[in-house]
Structure 1
């Protein structure tokens, strides 16, 4: 498998299929993935190892239904970063487990985070913690009310 640059992974059809299967079920056994893909277990394991080593695949996670915790508060927070501090801000935000995803973006906002908390007090605390991070210049948060 060829690579462009030191850390850029070039995906082929098997890689894309494997990543798609893992997005659907990150806990699927290698033997099941091999069966679905029509390849050997060794092929799947080699590809997994290569995707992990290159950084193209960051790990495996459990996906939880959005309605699993009906009392939970879900929100998105758009963040404007001061100057060239994006990497430092991202590293600090990664320490907050309530931020379930952090996205870089184009446009007015530099980052968009997804927030998941149990109650308004926790939500308020998370907002305050994000806003005091050095390099965070401005933010706007919207609570997600329902998925349609």
Structure 2
């Protein structure tokens, strides 16, 4: 499997925010041709990076389920590989690189504790992740999700 590049990540990010965005709009946003964008999306679907397209209703937006911050420590020089894997998970709403003890901070959102637990299990199984620390967000005064 080919590693994701900046175009793949840009497409995934845009599709996370709006799964109905047109190929033409994605092409204009990324500077790639429509044919390239369509081929990349097809490849991301075929290789399982994109498992499906969905919508979130207003009700779901108001009650986001479980939201959390996961602090991630990466082994050696595996940061790029780990980042590619995490960016491909739809529950990862944002991924930030950082300095200090933790290499990444992932913002997660899942519908309930059961699926959230499964997401954490999948994250911990990503090759290259040495340790994690998870903080569930209880209340937000200003939401970026």
In the other structure, the counterpart of 2:134 is 141
1:110 to 88, 103, 107: 103
1:1-148 equivalence runs, <5 A: 49=28, 52-53=30-31, 68-70=61-63, 72-148=65-141
User: What do you get for the CA RMSD once the two structures are aligned?
Assistant: 2.9
Inter-partner Cα distance in structure 2 for 1:114 and 1:76: 5
- CA deviation profile, 1:3-48 (whole Å, cap 9, x unmatched): xxxxxxxxxxxxxxxxxxxxxxx9xxxxxxxxxxxxxxxxxxxxx9
TM-score, length of structure 2 as denominator length: 0.57
Inter-partner Cα distance in structure 2 for 1:127 and 1:144: 15
Gaps of 5+ in 1: 1-25, 27-47, 55-61
Which secondary structure state, in structure 2, belongs to the residue aligned with residue 146 of structure 1?
A: coil
Q: How far does residue 93 in structure 1 lie from its aligned partner after superposition?
A: 1.0
Kept after mapping to 1: 8 A contact 2:73/2:130: yes
Runs of 4+ aligned structure 1 residues displaced above 6 Å come to none
> Which of these two proteins has the greater Rg computed from alpha carbons?
1
Inter-partner Cα distance in structure 1 for 2:112 and 2:62: 11
In the other structure, the counterpart of 1:23 is none
Gaps of 5+ in 2: 1-17, 19-26, 33-54
Q: How far does residue 73 in structure 1 lie from its aligned partner after superposition?
A: 0.7
Which secondary structure state, in structure 2, belongs to the residue aligned with residue 68 of structure 1?
A: helix
Inter-partner Cα distance in structure 1 for 2:135 and 2:129: 17
Tell me which protein shows more helix as a share of its residues.
2
Inter-partner Cα distance in structure 2 for 1:133 and 1:71: 25
